[in-house]
């Protein structure tokens, strides 16, 4: 039976309850991680835990466990799920306090984690994305649970028959509502640099590593909205989507509207890399 972890206990999800005064509920005061599990091995655990620590520290919280303690929790969760490919969802809030903004009122974090099978749609023919103003805040490097802008952006995308919203701030691409963005022009792969305007995606960094190992030309630089529309290929990446080709942007095709040659190569390299991923 699938078990979830809540504040030191493993239990069925129906028995995992949160106090209504939890600051995650009243203020969205917390952070999270999504960590893929391939071949039942937690993928890139060090990077995910590092990003979790950075997110926690940025909101004046401490990492509650060391790597071994997290590993032990993840192992039990993964063992309780009947699937080789899973994604761990982990959320830490500042815990319970009376409903006052003052963070010093909360002194015991709420720690929740669960693992679920990855159910991926087939995006190999490419997806449509919309572009939209980046309506989020100035701390997008924090993986904060306050996701209302992203929820609305994905809803707008859906209303336009699209799967993702690619966000534009001051004329430049930041990232997707829940993904990082790559463009390809003249065989060079470009992605936006890590700033406070983007989440430092772990998939992004895996892809960058694989591209460099395989001698692709890669440049991390600001991408203008115009460059996005003029690209030969556009990809978005995330832990659960991996690498997805964008073939339509609003009412425009990207290049000839077909999945690009480089995407197919990089997708194959990524799949191979995943299959070899038996040890963390």
Ligand X SMILES: Cc1ncc(COP(=O)(O)O)c(C=O)c1O
Active-site annotation, residues: 143
Q: How far is the CB of 151 from ligand X (least distance, A)?
A: 11
| Residue with Cβ nearer ligand X (87 or 93) | 87
CB of 207 to ligand X, least distance (A): 9
User: C-beta of 216: minimal distance to ligand X in Å?
Assistant: 18
Distance from chain centroid for Cα 242:
10
DSSP the chain: --EEEETTEEEEGGG----TTBHHHHT--EEEEEEEEETTEETTHHHHHHHHHHHHHHTT----S-HHHHHHHHHHHHHTSS-SSEEEEEEEE--B--S-S-GGG--S-EEEEEEEE------TT-EEEEEEE--S-S-TTS-BS--HHHHHHHHHHHHTT-SEEEEEETTEEEEETTBEEEEEETTEEEE---STTS---HHHHHHHHHHHHTT-EEEE---BHHHHHT-SEEEEEETTTEEEEEEEETTEESTTSSPPHHHHHHHHHHHHHHHT----
Q: Which is nearer to ligand X, 6 or 202 (CB)?
A: 202
Residue 106 or residue 167: which is nearer to ligand X going by CB?
Answer: 167
Q: Could you list the residues that contact ligand X (CB under 6 A)?
A: 34, 175, 178-180, 199, 201-204, 237-239
Query: Among residues 157 and 178, whose Cβ is nearest to ligand X?
Result: 178
Question: Minimum distance between the CB of residue 236 and ligand X, rounded to whole angstroms?
Answer: 9
Shortest reach from residue 167's CB to ligand X, in Å:
9
Of 38 and 97, nearer to ligand X (C-beta) is 38
Residue 237 CB, nearest approach to ligand X (Å): 6
Please choose, from the candidates 171, 176, 157, the residue with its C-alpha nearest in 3D space to the C-alpha of residue 236.
176
Residue closer to ligand X, measured from CB, 178 or 231 = 178
């Amino acid at each position: 039976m699938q078990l979830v972890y809540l504040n030191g206990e493993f239990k069925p999800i129906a028995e995992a309850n949160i106090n209504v005064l939890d600051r995650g509920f009243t203020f969205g005061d917390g952070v999270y991680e999504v960590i893929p599990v391939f071949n039942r091995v937690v993928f890139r655990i060090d990077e995910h835990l590092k990003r979790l620590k950075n997110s926690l520290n940025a909101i004046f919280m401490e990492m509650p466990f060391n790597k071994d303690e997290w590993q032990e929790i993840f192992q039990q969760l993964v063992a309780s799920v009947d699937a080789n490919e899973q994604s761990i969802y982990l959320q830490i809030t500042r815990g319970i306090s009376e409903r006052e903004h003052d963070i010093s009122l909360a002194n015991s974090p709420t720690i929740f984690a669960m693992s679920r099978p990855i159910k991926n749609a087939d995006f190999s023919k490419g997806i449509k994305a919309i572009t939209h103003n980046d309506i989020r805040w100035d701390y997008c490097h924090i993986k904060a649970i306050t996701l209302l802008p992203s929820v609305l952006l994905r809803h707008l995308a859906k209303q336009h028959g699209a799967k993702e919203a690619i966000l534009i701030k001051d004329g430049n691409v930041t990232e997707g509502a829940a993904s990082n963005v790559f463009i390809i022009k003249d065989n060079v792969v470009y992605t936006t640099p890590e700033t406070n305007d983007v989440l430092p995606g772990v998939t992004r960094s895996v892809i960058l590593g694989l591209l460099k190992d395989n001698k692709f030309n890669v440049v991390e630089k600001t991408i203008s909205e115009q460059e996005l529309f003029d690209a030969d290929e556009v990809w978005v990446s995330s832990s659960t989507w991996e690498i997805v080709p964008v073939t339509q942007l609003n009412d425009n095709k990207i290049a000839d509207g077909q999945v690009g040659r480089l995407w197919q190569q990089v997708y194959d390299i990524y799949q191979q890399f995943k299959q070899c991923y038996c040890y963390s």
